[in-house]
Structure 1
Amino acid sequence: MPAAGADDGATPNSPRSELRYRLFDEGDSLYTDMLAAIADARERVWMESYIFSADRIGRRFAAALARAARRGLDVRLHIDAAGSLFLAPARFLDILRRAGVQVREFHRWSWRDPWRYNRRNHCKLLLIDQQTVFLGGFNIHEENSLHYHGAARWRDTHIRLDDRQMADQAGELFDVFWTRRVHRSLRKDLPPDLFCGDSLVTNRIPRHRHALRRLFREGIRTAEARVCLTTPYFSPDRRTRRHLYEAASRGVQVDLLLPAVSDRRLLQMTARHIYERFLKRGIRVHEYRPRVLHAKTMVVDRRLATIGTANLDYRSLFHNYEINFVTDNPAICNALEDLFEADLVAARQVTLESLGKRSLLDRIGGYLGWRIRYWL
């Protein structure tokens, strides 16, 4: 796999022989790599996406999946029924099915069980054969493309992993939802130390429902020098907030990177409602200005890192099904913190003075959003 230059939105491969990786922060580079991987697949192409849009990006992926199916590969596409609502019409999915692609929609609306509609499959996962895994924040839509959206494209982060162990884990997790056996046991429990080695952490099965909260809390609790946290939606639960406060109180530099431009205005106002609590405890809050921020990463002391689909909000931590890659790989940790530092250059630091200039609408929206944060 060729090394990626900084100008194409990717980071070079890890020097650790047991795990080859590539980071992406530009959609066009990621989509090109994903489409090439699909074209080179020999056995299977399994794909999950919260949003799979029938736009120009989605049609390119649909064509690639159809070609793979016609070659006789095991091709599966699992999209979220709510996330792709109105974006992937039935006729679009039927074309894929006729080409031999197995297509399923996760948790379609049902009057017999309306409660399940609240639980969404927020994962973005592509598994190629038994060797390559893509995961992160990128959906399949034009909003992430420089070619189609120009300077207004979304800012996101994704990772490619070329590793048999990661592919085995991803395949097992994909199969849990595909076969609707979410209550079955996976091969092994979560490790005592989530940040030891490389692993995939998910909340897909009942006994792992708290895994993501544990992931964020463990990382923050063990921080000694710095926590760099990027999330588009920020309404952490009480215990996670307490861990952030305690980290700052023991001298850890805590930097939060949140969006100045958001696709979910109420969630942005909700986050701003609690900025003051963090600022008064010495936690630095930055708002990324150029475009919509959708990346979900955390780096601790340049020695621990996670990248994936989970936001630091109630929906990700309590309702949605998510998947994150966790690592103590020094090269990945350094690369993610370097991306964080580059984003800070394009961000403005929030102060108590600037926070006091919020509009009345922003204040009211934040107050109301915080009251219903569990359901947002």
Structure 2
Amino acid sequence: MLATLIVILLLIIFIAWLAIDFAAGKRAMLQSIPEPKYPSRTGSLQLFTNGNHLYEDYFAEIEKATSFVHILFYVVQDDDISKKFFALLEKKAKQNVEVRLLVDWIGSAKMTLKSIRSLKASGVHFSYSHLPKFPYLFYTLNARNHRKVTIVDGKIGYIGGFNIGQEYLGLNPVLGNWKDYHLKMKGKAVEDLEMQFLLDWKRATSEDLLDCSDYFCSLPEGDLEIRIMSSEGKSLESDFLSLVERAQKELCIGTPYFVPSQRLFQALLDALKRGVSVHILMPMKPDHKFVKDAAFAYIPALLEAGCHIHQYYYGFYHAKAVIVDESVCDIGTGNFDKRSMFLNSEINCFISTASFVKYARDTFFQNVDECTPLELYHIEKRTLFEKGKEMVATWVSPFL
């Protein structure tokens, strides 16, 4: 009996420590790390939806670099495609091109010490982002740098959902074909990608390069209105909310993980009530435990209100997009879930030029054509075990 009481007491203490650690860590982060506000810019964009096409273009632009390459990814694997990536970075560093590679400590955990040593030996500046640290160990273990940003010579930028690894080429035998959105950017907005990289680099290494004029060059204007939106677990919910509330006719949401906040969930229901045609595109196959189960806490009410929910069938859908009335679209790294909104460091790109928004919408509905609709009867016939998983997933949803 005494042993049981001791175990229960220790469990209570442990849970209390986790709660205090997380709350205090979150508060400290919000106070110490401001979210930069970037202005509206003009530029040009190219949208990639296929990993092979993106990598071909991406590797070719790095190959042509003459001054510097700054790279931030959430996931860099240590597979065959990653080794090709490492070899290219080492080659450029040996050509006296400044190469900086910043990766998330959790997301890129599969990078081997051998690969890191080889990169550094060749002259690549390497660092981990978001290392766990005391006194807020639990919080810092959960707060990730989920951004994917590359800047080449200050003139070309990349931002979107693809990381570096064979699964992004559709070579994962379980997930199959990988569908994602990634932008290649030229013009003034590249300056903001560079600024964000330097802020993340300073946070990770304490090396302050923000005033280095070599990283910023005179850039041309473009035909598209672009705004970079950076978030540190604070503003992304409001950014998404503004898009949902703006919709008058149609709202399209593409996301691999659909776990909205209560405010966003209510905003979606309100949009449906005012006659907005809401389309949500998500994968049929989950790549993380409980993520799909957590979505079922919201899906029945949305279906009953008339929402169209599409499940991508031919592989894994990893794209992050919000498209409103053919007037504005958002493509970036932020998922439509609590983790992206309240924990992760994210970066998104808002585009307000009708021609590109229409192109993004057309791309979205091409993906819808490869989906199967989720109907209410699919939800109702779930087993008791599946409903139990939903309860557990709902409880841990902020960390999924």
Aligned to 1:333: 357
C-alpha distance in structure 1 between counterparts of 2:394 and 2:174, whole Å: 33
Letter in 2 for 1:180: R
Aligned to 2:158: 134
C-alpha distance in structure 2 between counterparts of 1:96 and 1:327, whole Å: 36
TM-score (norm 1): 0.87
Letter in 2 for 1:173: Q
C-alpha distance in structure 1 between counterparts of 2:310 and 2:169, whole Å: 24
- Which of 193, 199, 210 is the aligned partner of 1:176? 199
Matches within 5 A, 1:200-239: 200-204=228-232, 209-239=233-263
Is contact 2:334-2:340 (8 Å) kept?
yes
Q: Deviations over 1:223-280 (max 9, x none)?
A: 1110010001111101111111111111110011111111013101111232101112
Matches within 5 A, 1:285-300: 285-300=309-324
- Distance 1:182-1:253 versus aligned 2 partners, 3 A rule: farther
C-alpha distance in structure 2 between counterparts of 1:155 and 1:364, whole Å: 30
- Distance 1:280-1:287 versus aligned 2 partners, 3 A rule: same
Q: Which moved more, 1:226-235 or 1:210-219?
A: 210-219
Is contact 2:290-2:393 (8 Å) kept?
yes
Matches within 5 A, 1:32-181: 32-85=56-109, 87-110=110-133, 112-114=135-137, 115-146=139-170, 152-163=176-187, 165-180=188-203
Could you tell me how far 1:302 is from its partner in structure 2? 1.1
- Which of 363, 369, 372 is the aligned partner of 1:345? 369
Question: Helix, strand or coil for the counterpart of 2:45?
Answer: strand
Is contact 1:142-1:149 (8 Å) kept?
no
Is contact 2:180-2:317 (8 Å) kept?
yes
- Which of 267, 276, 295 is the aligned partner of 2:291? 267
Is contact 1:156-1:294 (8 Å) kept?
yes
Aligned to 2:227: 199
Q: Which moved more, 1:217-226 or 1:265-274?
A: 265-274
Structure 1's unaligned 5+ residue stretches are 1-16, 188-195
Could you tell me how far 1:148 is from its partner in structure 2? 7.6
- Distance 1:349-1:336 versus aligned 2 partners, 3 A rule: same
Letter in 1 for 2:344: N
C-alpha distance in structure 2 between counterparts of 1:221 and 1:54, whole Å: 42
Is contact 1:62-1:96 (8 Å) kept?
yes
Question: Helix, strand or coil for the counterpart of 1:19?
Answer: strand
Is contact 2:70-2:100 (8 Å) kept?
yes
Aligned to 1:193: none
Larger Rg: 2
Could you tell me how far 1:181 is from its partner in structure 2? 8.1
Number of aligned residues: 345
Letter in 1 for 2:192: Q
- Distance 1:329-1:156 versus aligned 2 partners, 3 A rule: same
Is contact 1:307-1:326 (8 Å) kept?
yes
C-alpha distance in structure 2 between counterparts of 1:279 and 1:67, whole Å: 53
Aligned to 1:303: 327
Letter in 1 for 2:179: R
C-alpha distance in structure 2 between counterparts of 1:306 and 1:231, whole Å: 12
Is contact 2:177-2:314 (8 Å) kept?
no
C-alpha distance in structure 2 between counterparts of 1:151 and 1:175, whole Å: 34
- Which of 257, 278, 282 is the aligned partner of 1:254? 278
Could you tell me how far 1:20 is from its partner in structure 2? 2.1
C-alpha distance in structure 2 between counterparts of 1:36 and 1:331, whole Å: 27
Question: Helix, strand or coil for the counterpart of 1:180?
Answer: helix
- Which of 365, 370, 373 is the aligned partner of 2:389? 365
Letter in 2 for 1:143: E
Is contact 2:179-2:318 (8 Å) kept?
yes
Could you tell me how far 1:147 is from its partner in structure 2? 6.7
Question: Helix, strand or coil for the counterpart of 2:290?
Answer: helix
Is contact 1:38-1:128 (8 Å) kept?
yes
**RMSD (Å), alpha carbons:** 2.3
Question: Helix, strand or coil for the counterpart of 1:265?
Answer: coil
TM-score (norm 2): 0.82
Letter in 2 for 1:201: M
- Distance 1:32-1:46 versus aligned 2 partners, 3 A rule: same
Is contact 1:26-1:145 (8 Å) kept?
yes
Q: Deviations over 1:106-136 (max 9, x none)?
A: 1234455413222110011111111111111
C-alpha distance in structure 2 between counterparts of 1:308 and 1:318, whole Å: 16
C-alpha distance in structure 1 between counterparts of 2:93 and 2:205, whole Å: 26
Letter in 2 for 1:93: I
Could you tell me how far 1:104 is from its partner in structure 2? 0.3
- Distance 1:304-1:117 versus aligned 2 partners, 3 A rule: same
Identity %: 27
Q: Deviations over 1:210-232 (max 9, x none)?
A: 32112211111111110010001
- Distance 1:182-1:245 versus aligned 2 partners, 3 A rule: farther
